[in-house]
Amino acid sequence: MDNAISFEMLTEEEKYKHFIERIEAKSKIEADDWMPEEYRKTLIKLISMHGISEIMGALPEKEWVPKAPSLKRKLGIMAKVQDEMGHGQLLLRVAEDLMKPYGKNRENIMQDLFTGELKFHNVFHMEAPTWADAGLIGWLVDGAAIITQTNMLDASYGPYARALKRICAEEVFHAQHGESIIMALAEGTAEQRAMVQDSLNRWWEALLMFFGPGDSSTTGTSKQDITIKYHIRTKTNEQLRQDFFTKYIPRVLSLGLKLPDESMRFDDESGKWLYRQPDWSRFKEIIKNKGPKSESRLRLRKISYETNEWVREALSSRSSGM
Amino acid sequence: MKILTPEEAIKNNAYKNALTELLYQLADDDFILSYRGSEWLGLAPHIEEDVAFSSINQDTMGHAAMFYQLLENLGEGKMDGLAHNRPANRWRNACLLEKVNGTGHYLNEPKYDWAFAVCRHYFYTSFKKIRMESLKTSSYQPLADAAVRVSIELFYHQLHWKTWFQQLMLAGGEAKTRMEKAIQTVCNDFGGVLGLGSLGESMVTFSLIDSEETIKNRWNCLMESIFEGVSSSLPETLGSMNGDGRNGVHTQDLEAALKTLSEVYQLDPTATW
Amino acid sequence: MAGEGFYQEYEVFSRRSDTSPMQYQFSLLAPNAELALVMAQENFLRRESASDIWVVKRSNIRKMTLDEKESLQRLDNKEYRNTKGYGYLKKKWRQYEQGMLDEKEIMSWGGKQSDENPHS
């Protein structure tokens, strides 16, 4: 275009100002639009981690796919894990488009995962040793995910907001799938009920950690301020954790389950749930791939990647069309 | 002759025996292969393909559930019990379909073979399509109805596996070598897939399904045209190298699979899960 | 054969039913159009029906730049293009004791014959 005042001719500062005006006015930023480096990098980090977490998150539940105790449960959990892979697909596509200017693609994402450069969510480093875990992941881990993801439905980055819209719609099914498993167990035999309680006890700390540290003083770093500044999300980690408590604690109790934190209570004065902090130093270790299942799950992904290399190789050299 | 209801089918013992035997073959084939497919979940060569493959496995397990339901209606027991509580020698699936995906376990060093997955699924889907066509005119009306429904989803399965099969065959090099090896592995046991077992003649006499020979010829015809398109040819002999699954002879692979499949169910078969 | 790599970008479009318009779904990676097509429905339409699907290689799409998007703006002074500019007719027809054949009325005409059968 031969506009006298083309956008391309603006100085970096003017472009930045224009960008901020756009996000303040709630208009959506698209993949090919100009964006500040910090915004792009924050998005890449956030979305590639979100995407790869979905892919890695398929693995703990996948353990239970063949073992699910009925045909209906087998089909349900298969569809659920499939969705996780599908969500990974959507999110990685969004991240890949953001990385394109750096000459990176999915290959790099996988390599970054294997080298430990790209982290995945703390909950997916944990063990899932019983069938109740399959239910609990759907009910509470996906419940927590719904809280964080709906918080970003209006994100300033259009492709992410659109992917999240698809994802959240499917998460509703995931939550109900999880609830259905948990409810059957909670209403079942003494052994089944004990299985759910045991699962809740084991997942409790990971669920508290799910939302990340309250502020940067806890672990030294926090991206939450930047994401709020750029209208990617609106609430802080602690607000999200509180929302989670408000929605789920009454439900947990209504099923006759005991909270693993006996000191936990709702404080009327501050309007907040008071709870025992998890061990945040452990959180830091876990996301450094030093959780109980970090190595073995990465190994699964790596084996699949390497064993199938020949397939990608074979079709890379074919030109399009039959 | 048309048998419209399970009550009617049960009246003639010989008919009922042939029918249930056939239904076990249909249900067990789909169930065990969808299980093998589901082990691939999260491990396919490509994320987009992982998602697509899982849909096929869900469809296939859904078909198995339809056939187990028909068995339940004939008084064979609850469908979940049929799928989770039968010793290996009562299973009627072909041995090819119970074969492991590769070396390793789905949770430990799963070195799965995509060429084998493509060939096994593609050959089986082609066969299943022909088998369902034949069942559409089955004397047992509930089975004929099920065949009509199942066939609807096979169009996609067929298109999906055909695309992968053709592309990997035409890719040449290492891919072609791997594919040819996989084709041989599948053919070594494909005779077992085409078989109808010891009650086969009775099934044909009662017009439950076309004969082994007829189905085999139709399948051969279909495969020949596919192989022509990729400048290759189908191996001459189709065997039952790993056992006669239609008559309850199975491999260690099935034993191990059944243990995994029923692990939670067996914690308490009377509980509601 | 000069390969372009396994990870090619394809945009996926679908039509919910024969009468619905093509709608954009999402993008996926595939080594070629055939594989893109066999993966499209299950990746984006697992819970929706579709009567047709298109996959388009992204590099074949000419997109707008930020500057070009400015060219999409226009003034709100084109009543003459819309029924809005002819709204007064309703009143006029009333004087002639006739109803207005507005959009709602006209769009409802298709296939209504049997309903409006005067003999019924």
Closest CA to A135 of A209, A185, A86, A75: A185
Question: Is the pLDDT reported for residue A278 higher than 90?
Answer: yes
A322 falls in which pLDDT band (50, 70, 90)?
Answer: very low
Which part of chain C is CATH 3.10.20.520?
8-60
β-partners of residue A195 are none
Helix, strand and coil percent figures for chain C, each rounded to 5: 30, 20, 50
* Subunit contact A93:C7, Cβ cutoff 8 A: no
Spell out which residues of chain A touch residue C29, defining contact as CB-CB under 8 Å: 93, 96, 106
Which run of H or E residues covers position B250? Answer: none
Closest CA to A45 of A226, A299, A252: A226
Give the whole-number percent of chain C exceeding pLDDT 70.
Answer: 90
Question: Is the pLDDT reported for residue C118 higher than 90?
Answer: no
Question: Is the pLDDT reported for residue A319 higher than 90?
Answer: no
Task: Give me the residue from A62, A308, A322 closest to B41, CB to CB.
Answer: A62
User: Chain-wide mean pLDDT for chain C?
Assistant: 89
Number of domains in chain A: 1
Task: Give me the residue from C7, C31, C66 closest to A318, CB to CB.
Answer: C31
Question: Is the pLDDT reported for residue A39 higher than 80?
Answer: yes
Question: Is the pLDDT reported for residue A156 higher than 80?
Answer: yes
Question: Is the pLDDT reported for residue B95 higher than 50?
Answer: yes
- Chains A, C: CB contacts within 8 A come to 69
With respect to residue A86, please indicate whether it lies within any of the assigned structural domains: yes
Identify the DSSP state of B265. Answer: G
Question: Is the pLDDT reported for residue A143 higher than 80?
Answer: yes
* Residue B131: CATH number of its domain: 1.20.1260.10
Q: How far apart are CA A4 and CA A15, in angstroms?
A: 16
Q: How far apart are CA C114 and CA B196, in angstroms?
A: 55
Q: How far apart are CA A179 and CA A143, in angstroms?
A: 10
With respect to residue B272, please indicate whether it lies within any of the assigned structural domains: no
Q: How far apart are CA A177 and CA A76, in angstroms?
A: 7
With respect to residue B229, please indicate whether it lies within any of the assigned structural domains: yes
Predicted confidence (pLDDT) per residue in B13-67, tens digit: 999 999 999 999 999 999 999 999 999 999 999 999 999 999 999 999 999 999 9
Q: How far apart are CA B139 and CA A248, in angstroms?
A: 54
Looking at residue B226, its amino acid is I
With respect to residue A258, please indicate whether it lies within any of the assigned structural domains: yes
Phi and psi, residue A263, nearest 5°? -85, -10
With respect to residue B1, please indicate whether it lies within any of the assigned structural domains: no
Question: Is the pLDDT reported for residue A215 higher than 90?
Answer: no
> For residue B73, with 0-12 CB atoms within 10 Å meaning exposed, 13-18 middle and 19 or more buried, which class applies?
middle
Instruction: With beta carbons less than 8 A apart as the criterion, state whether A163 and A227 touch.
Output: no
Q: Which CATH architecture has domain C8-60?
A: Roll (3.10)
Question: Is the pLDDT reported for residue A100 higher than 60?
Answer: yes
Closest CA to A232 of A309, A169, A151: A151
Number of domains in chain B: 1
Give the gap in angstroms from C-alpha C38 to the nearest C-alpha of chain B.
Answer: 6
Task: Give me the residue from B61, B109, B272 closest to A188, CB to CB.
Answer: B272
For A76, residues 6+ apart whose C-beta sits below 8 A from its C-beta are: A68, A177, A180
* Subunit contact B52:C32, Cβ cutoff 8 A: no
Phi and psi, residue C53, nearest 5°? -135, 140
A38 falls in which pLDDT band (50, 70, 90)?
Answer: very high
Q: What is the per-residue pLDDT for A3?
A: 47
Tell me the three state secondary structure of residue B255.
helix
Based on C-alpha coordinates, what's the Rg of chain B?
18
Question: Is the pLDDT reported for residue C116 higher than 60?
Answer: no
* Subunit contact B38:A65, Cβ cutoff 8 A: yes
Closest CA to B165 of B140, B143, B153, B182: B182
Q: What is the per-residue pLDDT for A6?
A: 81
Question: Is the pLDDT reported for residue C117 higher than 60?
Answer: no
Q: What is the per-residue pLDDT for A1?
A: 42
CB atoms within 10 A of CB B267: 16
Looking at residue A175, its amino acid is A
Task: Give me the residue from A66, A78, A79 closest to B261, CB to CB.
Answer: A66
| For range C57-77, the mean pLDDT | 92
Predicted confidence (pLDDT) per residue in A229-257, tens digit: 999 999 999 999 999 999 999 999 999 99
With respect to residue A316, please indicate whether it lies within any of the assigned structural domains: no
Predicted confidence (pLDDT) per residue in C8-29, tens digit: 999 999 999 999 999 999 999 9
Predicted confidence (pLDDT) per residue in B142-156, tens digit: 999 999 999 999 999
The single residue listed with the structure tokens 């969004």 is A94
Looking at residue C13, its amino acid is F
Which run of H or E residues covers position A274? Answer: strand A272-274
B236 and A CB contact within 8 Å? no
Domain that includes residue B158, residue range: 6-267
Q: How far apart are CA A74 and CA A61, in angstroms?
A: 11
**Residue A222 in tokens:** 């926090």
For B109, residues 6+ apart whose C-beta sits below 8 A from its C-beta are: A299, A303, B103
User: Considering only residues 12 to 41 of chain C, which have any Cβ-Cβ distance to chain B shorter than 8 Å?
Assistant: 28-30, 32, 34-35, 38-39, 41
CA within 13 Å, CB half, A208? 20
Looking at residue A28, its amino acid is K
Question: Is the pLDDT reported for residue A224 higher than 80?
Answer: no
CA within 13 Å, CB half, B152? 7
C51 falls in which pLDDT band (50, 70, 90)?
Answer: very high
With respect to residue B27, please indicate whether it lies within any of the assigned structural domains: yes
Question: Is the pLDDT reported for residue B271 higher than 60?
Answer: yes
With respect to residue B155, please indicate whether it lies within any of the assigned structural domains: yes
Domain that includes residue A262, residue range: 7-213+224-306
C2 and A CB contact within 8 Å? yes
Tell me the three state secondary structure of residue C28.
strand
A322 and C CB contact within 8 Å? yes
Question: Is the pLDDT reported for residue B205 higher than 80?
Answer: yes
Instruction: With beta carbons less than 8 A apart as the criterion, state whether A34 and A8 touch.
Output: no
Instruction: With beta carbons less than 8 A apart as the criterion, state whether B9 and B15 touch.
Output: yes
For A169, residues 6+ apart whose C-beta sits below 8 A from its C-beta are: none
* Subunit contact C4:A320, Cβ cutoff 8 A: yes
Q: What is the per-residue pLDDT for A318?
A: 54
Q: How far apart are CA A53 and CA A84, in angstroms?
A: 9
Instruction: With beta carbons less than 8 A apart as the criterion, state whether B197 and B20 touch.
Output: no
Q: How far apart are CA A141 and CA A146, in angstroms?
A: 9
Q: How far apart are CA A172 and CA A190, in angstroms?
A: 29
* Residue A146: CATH number of its domain: 1.20.1260.10
Task: Give me the residue from C29, C35, C42 closest to B167, CB to CB.
Answer: C35
Question: Is the pLDDT reported for residue A265 higher than 60?
Answer: yes
Instruction: With beta carbons less than 8 A apart as the criterion, state whether A159 and A31 touch.
Output: yes
Spell out which residues of chain B touch residue A128, defining contact as CB-CB under 8 Å: none
| For range C80-99, the mean pLDDT | 92
Q: List the strands of the sheet with C8-15, edge to edge.
A: C23-30, C8-15, C52-57
C46 and B CB contact within 8 Å? yes
For B259, residues 6+ apart whose C-beta sits below 8 A from its C-beta are: none
Q: How far apart are CA B241 and CA B239, in angstroms?
A: 6
Q: How far apart are CA A98 and CA A309, in angstroms?
A: 25
Q: How far apart are CA B57 and CA A82, in angstroms?
A: 10
Identify the DSSP state of B46. Answer: S
Task: Give me the residue from C26, C32, C67 closest to A321, CB to CB.
Answer: C32
Among all residues of chain C, which has the CA nearest to that of B55? C42
With respect to residue A65, please indicate whether it lies within any of the assigned structural domains: yes
Phi and psi, residue B78, nearest 5°? -65, 140
Q: Strands A265-267 and B102-105, how do they pair?
A: unpaired
C39 and A CB contact within 8 Å? no
